[in-house]
Structure 1
Amino acid sequence: MAVLRVKFTKGQRDKLAQMLWLLNWVSVMTGIILFSLGLFVKVEFSKKEELMADRDFQPVLNLLIAVGLIACIINLLGGKICYDCVDTNKFLRWKLLILPYIICSFFFTGCMLVGALMCYSMQEELQESLAEGLRDVMRYYKDTDSPGRCFLKHTMDLLQIQFQCCGNRDHRDWFHIQWISNRYLDMSKREVVDRLHSNVEGKYLLDSVPFSCCNTNSPRPCIQYQITNNSAHFNYDYLTEDLNLWKRGCHQALVEYYTKLMHSTGSTGLLIWLFELSILTGVRYLQTAMENVLRQGDPESESDGWLLENSLVETARNNFNILKNLGKINQIDTATNGDPNIDKPSTAIYGLDNVPSKTMPVAS
């Protein structure tokens, strides 16, 4: 029994073909949107790749870009097929191609769904990657003379200014690392030498932060040195001076930014997936309705369309039997190893036991 059988008149078939032609062209535009969005997110990840640990997010983004590009090509072909399906004679050109087209489109929409869902599932991995990456960048902030690390100070300062953040979790992260290079420390001062010797690892630690942590909305000049020392500054209280530094950590700022990007991309992918699935359903109905018209031989007659010619269980059983029989054939061919002296198996094994045999005519 056919699944979701629908009866179509000649006018309804024509309207369905015209509507699918229009929807395929709209879907070309959605494919361009998905391609552009995936490319934009890829560029944004590339801009901050030095802030991320060794985790590769590119396969997900490449999948979205590829899916968007393939969507344009598939829907261009689908639009041409639906446009020709108005005429029965033109439909004959595509008759053998439509079913492979539907199968390929079905797997393509599956890839689109996988890519959209992966945009939601990578948040935890993104958080860990940014936490490790930011920790490493802050550790090498002072190494402005080291090859391969000289740009990290500029990267971190620009990040804190653009995203209005400070440190990894908050501004206190700078208290636990030496972010001032030894090149700029005056070793002639006993205070500097004592501070270096007081640390087990020989680091110059201060309750201070880089200038890029300063809040531009602060009504007073930024206090970035001796932040926790109230007596070092006039009319200053470390616990209540909220406008002096950015309070939000850069990890939180970046996670929120990239999560918003990925969720927007994933939502767009899901909407496009539903749209593509509706088009694919319409193409399937049009294909089966036009094939039934050809069987009837009257282009003006009514015809039935369906998604599956048999029930889902029966279709799965038939496909399973086909695969099982193919497996038996492979086992028999392997066992014989091409030996012509070994008798061939009965046709019943292949499911051909009901095929009538041809007998040779007896000579008179």
Structure 2
Amino acid sequence: MALQVEQAPAMAGVPSITLSEGCRQLLLTLLLLLAALSINAGVVLVVIAALLRPRLDEHAPVLPKGALLRELHLLVGGGAASLATGCLSLIWATSARARGKSRRRAAQPLGWMCLLLQLGAAGLLLALALLVEVRLRAFQTVFHAGFSRTLWRYADTAALKGYVDRTQARYQCCGALGFSDWFVVDWYPVTLFVARYLEVVRQRQRFAKLGQRRGNPLRASFAMQQYGSEQHAQLVTAAIEEEMSSQQLQADLLAAKQLGFSEVPFSCCDPESPQWCRQMFVTESAPHYRPPANLTVFTAGCSDRVPALFGWYLWLAGRAALAVAALQLVMALVSRYWQTSASSALAAGRHLSPAPGWLIPTCSGLGI
């Protein structure tokens, strides 16, 4: 009675493509090129993170503690993963080009490691791209909230004053939404304010009494007894944030800006103005000065200027992460087809013969 030898089930998967040895060598050549590109892409991601960090530190006084640090760490991690996959893929593709059966078989475990690392890097970078997109949409609101509150503490410390002055001068902006924000922010020392703007003090008192009679807490908070108080700051800041979200002027805030105090810090002065900087009585006409036609201060708000530039770096980081994730997926695709085709050829005992390659094994390929 003749003995029958049970054959192992044929390896199979979908979508199946039969690859000759020449095609497999072309795939390895392509993988070498992609690996070199992956190394360069990893360096680019790390460089973007290095560019983002000092700009993040620059605006630390107005951003929540630890803001965007997770994204920076993920960006560095994604860059490191791209570097690692590129280097490992170079080593694997070089060793897999050998035509000897033993060398070809020995390259299989390293191929699995490359494939897993490529998929892991792609997943990490896709998550980073999604997270950056979410942060990009929220950054202007977060920055605006922090910067508008910082205006109230302008004269508290030299560090905060220096930050606001540097930001306004560098980004050519004034206030959160515009220079008139300074008219309703109690940034002036109260004794100097009373001595220099006595008529404004009287107008504020009348404005506050009218607000009390009408039950308007924002107007009532402009009483001099509440000058610089936390309650007054919260009400004014909330009104500024309402203007930011609605993109419309807030009536009570607009009325408060017309009480007579119209002074801004020197950092709001536009150096390109043809006239000397008029940072006091900004809205009052004078000889050869007719606002708003010839203002000598910046008119743009920092809540628009800063996020526009900083957001560009975030946008660049997100798109770079997305591009490198796509690169890793292409590398994984090439690696997978070579690996499965080479495994099929080895299983058939003819490692240089044409053999099918695939992405996902079928039940028959798993022996089920």
Superposed pair shares fold, TM > 0.5: yes
- 1:53 is displaced (CA, Å) by 3.6
Q: Quick check: 1:222 aligned with 2:277?
A: yes
Q: Quick check: 1:117 aligned with 2:140?
A: no
Provide the C-alpha distance between the structure 2 equivalents of 1:168 and 1:55, rounded to a whole number of angstroms.
Answer: 22
1:191/1:112 CA distance change after superposition, 3 Å: closer
2:140 aligned partner, one-letter code: Q
Aligned residues: 305
Q: Quick check: 1:237 aligned with 2:290?
A: yes
Paired position in structure 1 for 2:61 = 50
1:210 is aligned, of 265, 272, 283, to: 265
Q: In the alignment, is the contact (CA less than 8 A) between 1:53 and 1:132 conserved in 2?
A: no
- 1:283 is displaced (CA, Å) by 0.4
Q: In the TM superposition, what are the counterparts of 1:61-76 in structure 2 within 5 Å?
A: 61-76=72-87
Paired position in structure 1 for 2:354 = 302
1:310/1:296 CA distance change after superposition, 3 Å: same
1:54/1:124 CA distance change after superposition, 3 Å: farther
Which has the larger displacement, 193-202 or 103-112?
193-202
Paired position in structure 1 for 2:151 = 138
- 1:212 is displaced (CA, Å) by 1.0
Paired position in structure 2 for 1:342 = none
Paired position in structure 2 for 1:7 = 18
2:168 aligned partner, one-letter code: Q
Provide the C-alpha distance between the structure 1 equivalents of 2:306 and 2:357, rounded to a whole number of angstroms.
Answer: 51
**How high is the TM-score relative to the length of structure 2?**
0.76
1:135 aligned partner, one-letter code: S
* Structure 1: stretches of 5+ with no match in the other structure: 144-148, 319-350, 352-364
Provide the C-alpha distance between the structure 1 equivalents of 2:268 and 2:335, rounded to a whole number of angstroms.
Answer: 58
- 1:193 is displaced (CA, Å) by 9.4
- 1:30 is displaced (CA, Å) by 0.7
Q: In the alignment, is the contact (CA less than 8 A) between 1:142 and 1:178 conserved in 2?
A: no
1:200 is aligned, of 215, 223, 245, to: 223
**How high is the TM-score relative to the length of structure 1?**
0.77
2:182 is aligned, of 174, 189, 194, to: 174
1:128 aligned partner, one-letter code: T
Provide the C-alpha distance between the structure 2 equivalents of 1:262 and 1:270, rounded to a whole number of angstroms.
Answer: 12
Paired position in structure 2 for 1:162 = 170
Provide the C-alpha distance between the structure 2 equivalents of 1:277 and 1:103, rounded to a whole number of angstroms.
Answer: 11
CA deviation digits over 1:198-226, x for unaligned, max 9? 45144398211011111122111111111
Q: In the alignment, is the contact (CA less than 8 A) between 1:131 and 1:168 conserved in 2?
A: yes
Paired position in structure 2 for 1:251 = 303
Greater relative CO (CA pairs within 8 A, separation 6+): 2
Which has the larger displacement, 1-10 or 150-159?
1-10
Q: In the alignment, is the contact (CA less than 8 A) between 2:85 and 2:117 conserved in 1?
A: no
Q: Quick check: 1:278 aligned with 2:330?
A: yes
- 1:122 is displaced (CA, Å) by 1.1
1:167/1:107 CA distance change after superposition, 3 Å: same
1:121 aligned partner, one-letter code: V
* Structure 2: stretches of 5+ with no match in the other structure: 1-11, 206-221, 229-259
Provide the C-alpha distance between the structure 2 equivalents of 1:71 and 1:20, rounded to a whole number of angstroms.
Answer: 14
Larger radius of gyration: 1
Q: In the alignment, is the contact (CA less than 8 A) between 2:38 and 2:85 conserved in 1?
A: no
1:235 aligned partner, one-letter code: H
Superposed structure 1 runs of 4+ greater than 3 Å apart: 189-194, 196-199, 201-205
Provide the C-alpha distance between the structure 2 equivalents of 1:249 and 1:226, rounded to a whole number of angstroms.
Answer: 19
Which has the larger displacement, 295-304 or 133-142?
295-304
- 1:190 is displaced (CA, Å) by 7.9
- 1:178 is displaced (CA, Å) by 2.3
Q: In the alignment, is the contact (CA less than 8 A) between 1:105 and 1:280 conserved in 2?
A: yes
CA deviation digits over 1:219-250, x for unaligned, max 9? 111111112221xx213222322x42211100
- 1:104 is displaced (CA, Å) by 3.6
